[in-house]
Amino acid sequence: AQTEELAGDIATAEELLAVLQTAELSGEAAEAVAGVVESFGPYTDAISAFIDSAIADQAGTSARWEDIQTANDITDGAVSAAKDILISESIAAEEELGDAIARTELISLLIAAAALVLIGAVSWLTMRSITRPVQRVKASLEALATGNLTVAAGVTAQDEVGQMAAALDAAQASL
């Protein structure tokens, strides 16, 4: 039962290492994971040998305790180093992601502000292109209402307001 439990524990750790090896790592992180993978085999061999000998010779097992401790120290060092490097790289990646998000937000705000300015300018120009000719036609009509037939609308546009102004100018000329 002890050896089955050990085999299960080893299989679980090997599965975790296999998943860790599929992660896209580079530099120190990749080296640290490789160190854990490299030390894991000798570690599990030492543990398995220790368990097997403990089952066979319980009295002699206490003499081999240092072998297990040595294998454990090697693996603990590799796991600890890998953990520290992975945490460090994870923090750096989080900071880089935060910076990228902040840059993206700033760029989005600048684009939105530029778009609002552009929409405002186009709206103002559109409004001006409509209100100026209408004001000229109004001034011509007001002059006509007072009997002054000399104030022309002076609108040269070809749109509806321009056509109305041309008709007004023609009516004034025929009066």
Predicted confidence (pLDDT) per residue in 18-42, tens digit: 887 888 888 888 888 888 888 888 8
Predicted confidence (pLDDT) per residue in 53-67, tens digit: 777 777 777 666 777
C-alpha torsion sign, points 119, 120, 122, 123: positive
CB-based burial label for 133 (10 Å; 0-12, 13-18, 19+): buried
SS3 152: coil
Predicted confidence (pLDDT) per residue in 143-174, tens digit: 999 998 888 998 888 888 889 999 999 988 88
CA distance 174 to 1: 117
126, 132, 133, 134: CA torsion to nearest 10: 100
Reported as a pLDDT band with limits 50, 70 and 90, residue 125 is very high
Residue 126, both tokens: 């559109």
Question: 65 or 127: which carries more pLDDT confidence?
Answer: 127
